[in-house]
Amino acid sequence: MTLPVVTPREVRQDLIARREIALLDLREEDPFAKAHPLFASQLPLSRLEVEILDRVPRKETRIVLYDNGEGLVSPAGKRLATLGYSNVRALAGGLQGWTDAGYELFQDVNSYSKAFGELVEARRHTPSLPAQEVQARIDAKADQVILDARRFEEYATMSIPGGVSTPGAELVLRARELAPDPATTIIVNCAGRTRSLIGAQSLVNAGVPNPVFALRNGTIGWTLAQQSLETGQSRKFPDVSTQTLDEARAKARDVAYRAGVRRIDAEGLTDLATDRKRTLYRFDVRTPDEYASCHLPGFRSAPGGQLVQETDVFAPVRGGRIVLADDLGPRADMTASWLAQLGWEVYVLEGGFEGELATGAWTPSEPPHLPVVETILPRALSEALANEAVVVLDLAPSPAHRKGHIPGAWFAIRAQLAEALERIPEGRPIVLTSPDGVLARLAAPELEEIADQPVRVLDGGTAAWVAAGRALETGLPRTASDPTDVYKRPYEGTDNAAEAMQAYLDWEFGLVDQLARDGSHGFYVI
């Protein structure tokens, strides 16, 4: 499929003017992390149909697709047309065309949120302490609390000694409950820099009376200082008293007002939703547990700290509108204050939790028309594997595959099935699986077109295999595709090389200058 072409200059003009546009990188995460435009969002061809409906909800949105010569744009255009997207373009020259136009390329993931965090520190001189000084304060039993602003799962993997899990949006709400004495020092940490800086500056912006510092360079700085981290911790923030809540509400609302955040009620939300010419994102910024217990229908779970950190993932349509919901208030106000400074038109919903609510974890929208495919049940697949009569290709993300896959299965990336066929044993029928079976169903017709052997899909995916009581295998012993679907983050996990961690910090230190060279961001700092 040949798509209409748009030039890099036209894309950049749309971004600067804040006209709605979704600039989508169709490559896998690892190559994307090596080089991409500032406001590009990574949405791989491999997962296009299972992510696009939630990430780009308005079918008339101006979508610009690019790759780096891999041939991903044409098939992506066909899939989007089938789903009803009507304003899809190709970036002239792809990634190379962007470079040839003289525009900046950024590295890593969530680049524009991280660049913004560095800009905040440069403009506001966010106070911070080095790892060695914080360790000395711990050893001296100083009057302090260490609040970990990351997701709880990251905190549980490794954390600063004595740290308490307090994800970013919870900080202004919970800090005074954890440090009621104004003399108590509050230290905010993350894995690297961004969430530490944004978290600490949130407390400063809200006028928390305590001394507040970011842990300089987070757990990376801690590790480079050769200091020990804790693992497997489960300390979480406490509930808040009425007095603490009232104080946090007033402070957070003041910050949101200074940032230009607008407030709407249920009627106002209905009015925004009827505007078919604008994209509207609805996010619930509370914790995932609170969301699962009850939430407003139509709102997606997006804990506020992660929403600010991963805005490109949650909301790829730059120039769209965002509405935030929070039954307590401060989390939405603080999250909105940062999104506004990032250049978003953002609203906080007043109330709304008094009416009928939904329950359960958020689940992505499923493509409306899945292909009709030949399936196989877990029991029959088990028998076939015992006789070495089939080959299983697992299309799960590589971290999920490592955690657990059907014994004998090969890891494969959907967009690279032709290459995968060259690595797997020949002559056997192929069974495709994925976590819930949806991705496998989508991929089956594509594989049938290029494979000589029969193709079937595991009914219900790997989840059905587990539900049938069958065991999984761990690791990544058989790779039909290289695991480029995931970029190895130098700030997650406990096995990162010192050189990679230092290189990551050096990259972050240079982001303010790169923003200036790029000149398209439109960020401001209150």
Q: How confident is the model at residue 246 (pLDDT cuts 50, 70, 90)?
A: very high
169 in Cβ contact with 284 (< 8 Å): no
Per-residue confidence (pLDDT) for residue 497, from 0 to 100 = 83
Predicted local distance difference test score (pLDDT) of residue 513: 96
pLDDT at residue 380 greater than cutoff 90: yes
Q: Cβ(147)–Cβ(134) under 8 Å?
A: no
Q: Residue 447 pLDDT > 80, yes or no?
A: yes
**Pairing relation of β-strands 88-91 and 63-66?**
parallel
DSSP string, 455-486: EEEETTHHHHHHHTT---B-S---BSS-STTS
Residue 242 has pLDDT above 90, yes or no: yes
The pLDDT value recorded for residue 455 is 97
pLDDT(42) > 90: yes
- Predicted pLDDT at 413: 98
Per-residue pLDDT band for 504 (boundaries 50, 70, 90) equals confident
CB atoms near residue 125 (< 10 Å) = 10
Where does residue 231 fall: left (phi above 0), alpha (psi -120 to 50 degrees), or beta otherwise?
beta
**pLDDT beyond 80 at 493:** no
Average pLDDT over residues 338-357: 95
The residue-averaged pLDDT of 85-91 equals: 98
What 3-state DSSP class applies to 347? Answer: strand
Report yes or no: 518 and 38 within 8 Å, Cβ to Cβ: yes
Rounded percentage of the chain residues whose pLDDT exceeds 70: 100
CA distances from 258 to 336, 476, 517 (A): 11, 50, 28
The structure tokens 């982001």 sit at 511
Q: Supply the pLDDT for residue 308.
A: 98
Please give the backbone phi and psi of residue 315, each rounded to the nearest 5 degrees, phi first: -135, 80
161-209 confidence digits (pLDDT tens): 999 999 999 999 999 999 999 999 999 999 999 999 999 999 999 999 9
Instruction: Work out the pLDDT band at 490, boundaries 50, 70, 90.
Output: confident
pLDDT at 237 over 80: yes
Structural contact between residues 347 and 275, judged by C-beta atoms closer than 8 angstroms: no
Other beta carbons less than 10 A from residue 113's beta carbon: 21
Amino acid 496: pLDDT: 77
Pick from 518, 521, 373: which is nearest to 444 by CA?
373
Cα 78 from Cα 379, distance rounded (Å): 36
Query: What are phi and psi for residue 334, nearest 5 degrees?
Result: -70, -40
- Least confident interval from 88-97, 120-129, 496-505: 496-505
Query: Do residues 361 and 291 touch, judged by C-beta distance below 8 A?
Result: yes
Question: Taking all residues of the chain, what is their mean pLDDT, rounded to a whole number?
Answer: 96
Residue 249: Cβ within 10 Å count:
16
Query: What CA–CA distance (Å, rounded) separates 377 from 27?
Result: 32
Tokens standing for 326?
């929070």
Q: How many CB atoms lie within 10 A of CB 164?
A: 18
pLDDT greater than 80 at residue 275: yes
pLDDT over threshold 90, residue 84: yes
Q: What pLDDT sits at residue 503? A: 85
Does residue 491 have a pLDDT over 90? Answer: no
Sheet with 410-411: list strands edge to edge.
375-376, 455-458, 430-433, 391-394, 410-411
- Which residue is it, tokens 């495709």? 432
Percent of the chain with pLDDT over 90: 94
